[in-house]
Amino acid sequence: MKTSRLFAALGATIALAVSASALAQQPIIIKFSHVVADATPKGQGAIKFKEIAEKLLPGKVKVEVFPNSQLFGDAKEMEALLLGDVQIIAPSLSKFDRYTKKVQLFDLPFLFNDMDAVDRFQSSPEGKAMLNTMISKGIKGLAYWHNGMKQLSTNKDKLTRPEDVKGLKFRIQASDVLEAQFRQLGANPQKLAFSEVYQALQTGVVDGQENTWSNIYSQKFHEVQKTIANTNHGVIDYMVVTNAKWWKGLPDDVRTGLEEAMKEATAYANKMAADLNERDRQRIADAHKAKIQTLSKEDVAAWRAAMEPVWKKFEGPIGPELIQAALKSNQ
C-alpha cells in the first residue's frame, strides 16, 4: 500500500515537472497590432520584425502581426497595450501628446526640411531620450519608424495658397497641434480614426486630409480627392512602443534578441518608407484621379508664414531647447 502511494506521488511529481518543462518551452506570444495596410512602411516593418525576432529567438517567441485595425483601431490600441491585450503597437507620434507634451514637437508644421533631417534628430541624444519619457505612464519606446512627409489634399480644384483651404473641413489625428494648425488656416479640423477617412472623404463629411504618399495610395484617398498639393509641410512618423512592465519582465536573452530584431526592422522599415513614398507618388500621378499640385517657393513661403503662430503657441509645453535641437538637424 505504502509502495503504491509512493509510486503515485512520484508519478504526480514527474507529471508536474514535465508539465512545467513543457510550459517553460512554450514561446512567448507577442501581438503586434497596427492600423495600416501590410503594403505600407509600417506594415512591412512589422512583418520584418516578426521574421527577424523568430529567427533570432527560435522557439522562444512567436510574433503575431495584426494590420488594418484588425484587433484595435486608433482610439483603442493604446488602452489595449496598457491592459496587456497587445504587446507592441506603433501609433503615429501625434497619439502620444496626452502622455508627454514633448512629442508635440513632431506635429509642428514646417519644422523639418526633409526626412533626412527627421532621421538626424531622432538619432540624436535629444531624440533618443524622448523614447523614455513615458515609462512612468507604462509606455516604453523602442524605435522611431518613418512614414514620410505629409501632403495636403482636398476635393477642390485649387490648392496652392493658405486661403484655398479657408472654411474647408479637414480630417486630423487627435492632436492639439494639428487642430491649431488648421484653425490657424481658417479651416475646420475634424478628428477621425484612420479607418474612417476614405468614407468620410467619399461622402463629403470632410473636404480634405493630410498624409504621406504611401498612405494616400494604399488607402485610395487619391480616388476621392481632386487635388493633392506637394507641401511637405509636416511629418508622419511612428513610435514603436511596448508595455514597460511587460518589457522589463522579459528574460534578458529574449529582450536582447528583440532589441536586435527591432534595430534591423527599423532600418528596413525606414528604407522601405522612402522607396514606397517615391513609388506611390508616381502611381498616384499615373492614375490620373487626383491632380498633383506643385508649389512654388513663394507658395511654400506663404504656407510657412500662415502656420508660424502655431510654433509660438506650443513652444512652452514642448520646450524651446527641444525645438532648437530639431532645427539643428536641418543644417
**pLDDT the model gives residue 15:** 46
How many domains would you assign to the chain? 1
The reported pTM is 0.85
CA distance 153 to 144: 26
Residues of the chain predicted below pLDDT 70:
1-24
**pLDDT the model gives residue 41:** 84
Burial (CB count <10 Å: 0-12, 13-18, 19+), residue 97: buried
**pLDDT the model gives residue 13:** 52
Strands, E, within the chain: which ranges?
A: 28-33, 61-66, 88-89, 139-149, 151-154, 169-172, 188-191, 208-211, 227-229, 235-243, 291-293
The CATH number linked to 258 is 3.40.190.170
**pLDDT the model gives residue 94:** 87
Nearest to 109 by CA among 172, 164, 167, 53: 172
pLDDT tens readout for residues 169-196: 999 988 999 999 999 999 999 999 888 9
**pLDDT the model gives residue 21:** 46
**pLDDT the model gives residue 73:** 85
**pLDDT the model gives residue 24:** 55
**pLDDT the model gives residue 88:** 98
**pLDDT the model gives residue 14:** 52
Q: Are 166 and 187 in contact (CB under 8 A)?
A: yes
CA distance 44 to 232: 23
Nearest to 250 by CA among 30, 59, 18: 30
Residue 61, amino acid:
V
CA distance 265 to 145: 9
**pLDDT the model gives residue 36:** 84
Range of the domain at 116: 2-328
**pLDDT the model gives residue 4:** 57
